[in-house]
Structure 1
Amino acid sequence: MAKESLKLEPLGKKYNEEAGPGSPALAGDEFYDPHLHRNAPAPTTNTETMIHLLKGSLGTGILAMPYAFKNSGLINGFVFTIIIGFICTYCLHVLVNAQYVLCKRIKVPMLTYPESMKLALETGPPCLRPFAKYSPYLVDVFLVLYQLGICCVYVLFVAKNLKDVCDELTGSDLSLNIYMLILLIPFILINSIRNLKLLAPFSILANIITFASFGVVLYYIFEDLPPISNVPTFSTLYKFPLFFGTTLFALEAVGVVIAVENNMKTPKSFGGYCGVLNMSMVVIVLLYVGLGFLGYWRYGENSADSITLNFPKEDIPAKAVKLLYSLAIFISYGLQGYVPVQIMWDTYIVKHLENSSHQLLWEYVLRIIAVIISFVLAATIPLLALFIALFGSFCLSALGIAFPAIMEICVNYSDKLSGLNLTKNVALIIFGLVGLLAGSYSCLSEIIIELSKGS
Structure 2
Amino acid sequence: MNIISWRRKEERRMGFERQASSSGHGGEEQGGSAAPLLPKHHDGSGAHLSSQPKTFANIFIAIVGSGVLGLPYTFKRTGWAAGVAMIAVVAFLTYYSMMLLVRTRRKLEKDRGYSKIASFGDLGLAVSGQVGRLAVDAMIVLSQAGFCVSYLIFIANTLSHIFNGNSARGLLGSGLPSLSLKSIWIWGIFPFQLGLNAVRTLTRLAPLSIFADAVQIGAMGVVMTDDVTSFLRRAPAAEAFRGWSAVFYGIGVAVFAFEGIGMALPLESETADKAKFGRTLGGSLCFISIMYASFGLLGYLAFGEDTMDIITNNLGKGFVSELVQICLCVNLFFSFPLMMNPVHEVMERSFAGKSFSLWLRWAMVLAVTLVALLVPNFADFLSLVGSAVCCVLGFVLPAWFHLRVFKNEMGLLAAALDSAIITLGLLLAVVGTWSSLSEIISA
TM over 0.5: yes
Q: Does 1:246 align with 2:250?
A: no
Q: How many Å separate the matches in 1 of 2:186 and 2:247?
A: 31
Q: Partner of 2:245: helix, strand, or coil?
A: coil
The Cα shift of 1:87 comes to 1.1
Q: Which residue of 1 aligns with 2:324?
A: 321
Contact 2:271 2:277 in 1 (8 A): no
Contact 2:17 2:114 in 1 (8 A): no
Equivalent AA in structure 2 for residue 430 of structure 1: T
Among 145, 150, 153, which residue is 2:150 paired with?
153
The Cα shift of 1:154 comes to 0.7
The count of aligned residue pairs is 396
Among 213, 216, 227, which residue is 2:219 paired with?
213
Q: Does 1:375 align with 2:382?
A: no
Equivalent AA in structure 1 for residue 303 of structure 2: Y
The Cα shift of 1:420 comes to 2.2
Equivalent AA in structure 2 for residue 158 of structure 1: I
Equivalent AA in structure 1 for residue 261 of structure 2: V
The Cα shift of 1:192 comes to 4.8
Q: Does 1:99 align with 2:105?
A: yes
TM-score, length-normalised on structure 2? 0.79
What stretches of structure 1 of length at least 5 have no aligned partner?
1-6, 13-34, 122-131, 354-358, 451-455
Among 85, 91, 94, which residue is 1:85 paired with?
91
Q: How many Å separate the matches in 1 of 2:49 and 2:189?
A: 30
> Which deviates the most, 170-179 or 83-92?
170-179
Q: How many Å separate the matches in 2 of 1:274 and 1:197?
A: 31
Q: How many Å separate the matches in 2 of 1:282 and 1:239?
A: 24
Among 334, 338, 343, which residue is 2:341 paired with?
338
Equivalent AA in structure 2 for residue 424 of structure 1: L
Give deviations 1:396-438, integer Å, cap 9, x for gaps: 1111011111111111123x31122112111211211110111
The Cα shift of 1:202 comes to 1.9
Equivalent AA in structure 2 for residue 288 of structure 1: Y
Question: For residues 289 and 10 of structure 1, do their structure 2 counterparts lie closer, same or farther at Cα, with a shift above 3 Å needed?
Answer: closer
Q: Which residue of 2 aligns with 1:356?
A: none
Q: Does 1:428 align with 2:434?
A: no
Q: How many Å separate the matches in 1 of 2:264 and 2:168?
A: 43
Q: How many Å separate the matches in 2 of 1:144 and 1:429?
A: 21
Q: How many Å separate the matches in 2 of 1:76 and 1:166?
A: 35
The Cα shift of 1:220 comes to 1.7
Q: How many Å separate the matches in 2 of 1:8 and 1:200?
A: 27
Q: Which residue of 1 aligns with 2:307?
A: 303
Contact 2:70 2:378 in 1 (8 A): no
Q: How many Å separate the matches in 2 of 1:171 and 1:330?
A: 17
Where in structure 2 are the equivalents of 1:33-432 lying within 5 Å? 53-104=59-110, 105-121=112-128, 134-167=131-164, 170=167, 175-192=181-198, 199-225=205-231, 230-257=237-264, 260-261=266-267, 265-266=270-271, 269=274, 272-275=277-280, 277-312=281-316, 314-346=317-349, 348-349=350-351, 352=353, 359-360=355-356, 362=357, 364-414=358-408, 416-432=409-425
Give deviations 1:296-326, integer Å, cap 9, x for gaps: 11112222111012223x3222211211122
The Cα shift of 1:199 comes to 5.0
TM-score, length-normalised on structure 1? 0.77
Q: How many Å separate the matches in 2 of 1:225 and 1:211?
A: 21
Cα root mean square deviation, aligned: 3.2
Q: How many Å separate the matches in 1 of 2:55 and 2:222?
A: 27
Equivalent AA in structure 1 for residue 137 of structure 2: D
Question: For residues 88 and 270 of structure 1, do their structure 2 counterparts lie closer, same or farther at Cα, with a shift above 3 Å needed?
Answer: farther
Q: How many Å separate the matches in 2 of 1:118 and 1:257?
A: 16
Q: Which residue of 2 aligns with 1:20?
A: none
Identical aligned pairs, as a percentage? 24
Equivalent AA in structure 2 for residue 96 of structure 1: V
Q: How many Å separate the matches in 2 of 1:270 and 1:71?
A: 40
Q: How many Å separate the matches in 1 of 2:223 and 2:428?
A: 30
Question: For residues 261 and 192 of structure 1, do their structure 2 counterparts lie closer, same or farther at Cα, with a shift above 3 Å needed?
Answer: farther
Give deviations 1:7-28, integer Å, cap 9, x for gaps: 986549xxxxxxxxxxxxxxxx
Give deviations 1:352-395, integer Å, cap 9, x for gaps: 36xxxxx44x2x44333332221111012233211110110011
Asked which structure has the greater CA Rg, the reply is 1
Q: Which residue of 1 aligns with 2:32?
A: none
Contact 2:17 2:116 in 1 (8 A): no
Q: Partner of 1:231: helix, strand, or coil?
A: coil
Question: For residues 378 and 298 of structure 1, do their structure 2 counterparts lie closer, same or farther at Cα, with a shift above 3 Å needed?
Answer: same
